[in-house]
Amino acid sequence: MARVVVDVMLKPEILDPQGQAVANALPRLGVSDVSSVRIGRRIEIEFTGEADLDRVREIADKLLANPVIEDFTIHEVADEPVPAGDPS
Amino acid sequence: MARVVVDVMLKPEILDPQGQAVANALPRLGVSDVSSVRIGRRIEIEFTGEADLDRVREIADKLLANPVIEDFTIHEVADEPVPAGDPS
């Protein structure tokens, strides 16, 4: 069983109002040293057998990302993700 | 300048209809060996100076994730992300 992660982010030149809203809220939490926040999607795909990265690339391009405004990166992860809320 | 990434995913026991929709669409692309798709958020936070991971943990907990239904992981990344569409 293989797990592949596709990270989809808006291209740098595309405005990200959602990230901007988070950035604007940070001073209220006492955080003033953040210069930028960008919000994208993380998609975890689990294969029953071996992961086929070329196939994943095709899936990302056709189904997961909008190549006009978004970039994506693909990487295989070895095992289960760290449970969560864990800042490591 | 430091960049910290917060990955927010639904807890494993929470249904993910968006991921399910993608999983259901995959056979139409000829992909039949995917057992599960989960869709979450990837947030990139750029600091003007050093990154404060404890502070990021607080931001994630209060602003970025819903701890009732979502888990998050935090990791610092060294440099600029790989441009995109690049399956490496």
Q: Are A44 and B37 within 8 A, CB to CB?
A: yes
Residue B44 contacts A where some CB pair is shorter than 8 Å: yes
Summary mean pLDDT of chain B? 90
**What are A62-84's pLDDT values in tens digits?**
999 999 999 999 999 986 655 55
| Pick from B1, B25, B55: CB nearest A31 | B55
Is residue B88 situated within a structural domain? no
Distance, in Å, from the CA atom of A75 to the CA atom of B21, rounded to the nearest integer, reads: 22
Give mean pLDDT, residues A51-64: 93
Is residue B73 situated within a structural domain? yes
Residue B28 contacts A where some CB pair is shorter than 8 Å: no
Q: What is the CATH number of the domain that holds A47?
A: 3.30.1280.10
Helix (H) or strand (E) holding B54: helix B53-59
Residue B38 contacts A where some CB pair is shorter than 8 Å: yes
- Tell me the pLDDT of chain B (88 aa) as tens digits: 899 999 999 999 999 999 999 999 999 999 999 999 999 999 999 999 999 899 999 999 999 999 999 999 999 998 665 555 554 4
